[in-house]
Amino acid sequence: MKRLILEKLEKWKQSKRRKPLLLRGARQVGKTWVLKEFGNTFADGFVHIDFDKQVEYRQFFEQTKDVKRILDNLALATGKKITPKTLIIFDEIQACESALNSLKYFYEDAPQYSVVGAGSLLGLKLASGFPVGKVEFLDMYPMTFTEFLFANGDANLVEYLDSIEKVENIPIAFFNPLEEKLKTYFVTGGMPEAVLNWAEDRDIVSADKVLLDILTAYEADFAKHANKNDVPKIQYIWDSLPSQLSRENKKFLYSAVKPGARAREYENALNWLYNANLVKKVFRITKPGLPISAYDDLTSFKIYMGDVGLLRKKSGLSTSAFAEQNRLFTEFKGALCENFVLQNLSRLFDVSPRYWNDNFHEVDFIVQHENSIIPVETKAGVNVKATSIKYYDKQYNAPLMIRFSMRNLSCDGKILNIPLFMADRIKQVLEMYKG
């Protein structure tokens, strides 16, 4: 399956000032597959070390900080020649702290070697501190809708989306199939194994089982890797996410996790889920200004899951819903659509999205693009009301506003209407708008 992150990895490979790379991302988003696929582009292939499975390799890093000795030992143990034209993959690197620390020595003493570390729980280790300036970071996410289209055999639809040059209505011959494919994506989500089950076998039951297995694996990680005192709290928060997102006001409430729950008791548990890349946190801003981080209200935030398919499965919404007109988009007060849009905003903008509200109005997301602050509204269907975003405009005179819905691509005054299936192309649309 085509993964667009390979283009970023290739740029890293060609960089003259390349540093060891740390690839971050949740379990099952395809990190290992991508790195092996990337390794096949190297003249001397790749060496793959999994510190979770191959525990015996940890001692090579615990016994010395000499990069040459480490490489010699790895070459002997794996039976593979390791050269500057070999990709060295340290998988589940968070399981070997000495290997993680060795990256700075690779940078200082052997910069000619291509080294990538990855791990599903790498964020937990990095949150506790890591020498800065010695490595580069790259985040990996579930498959985008564009990647889903490639996997599904719909390269023609991708080609059409790539060809759009103006903000104008998309012909029905393309719009309707894209809408139908998006419904399916909301069912499978972007987890590669679930997408593969659907793309190859058209077996939605099997894809659904994959999502259940992934959720089960995540919950097993709670018990295996978290502080034992935090495990029940993590589970409570995890189980509360569908109900948190089903409310009209989606601000995260500790009282909705468990009656009487307080922030100071559950904050560590929530941070564990965040650092494990299982949830995304969106802070409220008090007003739109540059930089938006300066206006964060750290006491108010919304929590989303990392993948819309996992949210759909966690919420208990049946796979049959995707055949029921627009029900899949509108279920849970549009929570699936919001989660989907947030996934794309998070990966496309350097500054994390925020949201804005007062006592009566709420704008779903606020993004900082270059030196512009753009309010983003998400609607589940075609019947849209813009009460909150228009109120926001009256207060702050926004130069541009974005609305994601199932309306066609168009510009309505200062409101840029973008179909939900173009959420991963928001920057492409913004360039068209400016042009």
Domain shared by 252 and 379, yes or no? yes
Domain shared by 127 and 250, yes or no? no
Q: What is the mean pLDDT of residues 214-223?
A: 96
Domain shared by 166 and 125, yes or no? no
Q: Which of 110, 139, 168 is the last residue of a domain?
A: 139
Domain shared by 314 and 355, yes or no? yes
- d(C-alpha 257, C-alpha 243), whole Å: 9
pLDDT of residue 248: 84
Domain shared by 233 and 176, yes or no? yes
Domain shared by 275 and 241, yes or no? yes
Domain shared by 223 and 312, yes or no? yes
| 431: its two tokens | 């360039």
- d(C-alpha 58, C-alpha 52), whole Å: 9
Q: What CATH number should be reported for the domain holding residue 116?
A: 3.40.50.300
pLDDT of residue 374: 97
| 50: its two tokens | 């999994």
pLDDT of residue 333: 65
Evaluate if residue 323 carries a pLDDT over 80. no
Least confident of 117-126, 150-159, 276-285: 117-126
In order of 51, 136, 211, 251, 335, the CA distances from 308 in angstroms are 30, 28, 11, 18, 9
Q: What is the mean pLDDT of residues 175-197?
A: 96
Evaluate if residue 386 carries a pLDDT over 70. yes
Q: Which of 139, 169, 187 is the last residue of a domain?
A: 139
Cα(first)–Cα(last) distance of the chain, in Å? 33
Domain shared by 132 and 152, yes or no? no
Domain that holds residue 220: 145-434
Domain shared by 206 and 171, yes or no? yes
Amino acid letter, 242: P
Q: What is the mean pLDDT of residues 39-62?
A: 97
pLDDT of residue 390: 92
Read off the pLDDT band of 124 (50, 70, 90). confident
Domain shared by 109 and 183, yes or no? no
Residue holding tokens 């790195």?
A: 35
Q: Structural domain tally of the chain? A: 2
Domain shared by 253 and 309, yes or no? yes
- d(C-alpha 21, C-alpha 114), whole Å: 8
pLDDT of residue 198: 96
Q: Which of 139, 173, 188 is the last residue of a domain?
A: 139
All residues at 6 or more sequence positions from 371 whose CB lies less than 8 Å from its CB, including other chains: 290
- d(C-alpha 257, C-alpha 417), whole Å: 35
Pairing of strands 46-50, 354-357: unpaired
Q: What is the mean pLDDT of residues 143-167?
A: 97
Evaluate if residue 325 carries a pLDDT over 60. no
Domain shared by 201 and 296, yes or no? yes
pLDDT digits (tens, 9 = 90+) for 283-293: 999 999 999 99
Give the closest residue to 251 by CA, choosing from 277, 284, 274, 273: 284
pLDDT of residue 81: 96
**pTM for the full predicted model:** 0.94
Q: What is the mean pLDDT of residues 381-404?
A: 89
Evaluate if residue 175 carries a pLDDT over 70. yes
Least confident of 15-29, 125-139, 341-355, 384-398: 125-139
- d(C-alpha 229, C-alpha 265), whole Å: 11
| 92: its two tokens | 């589940």
pLDDT of residue 317: 87
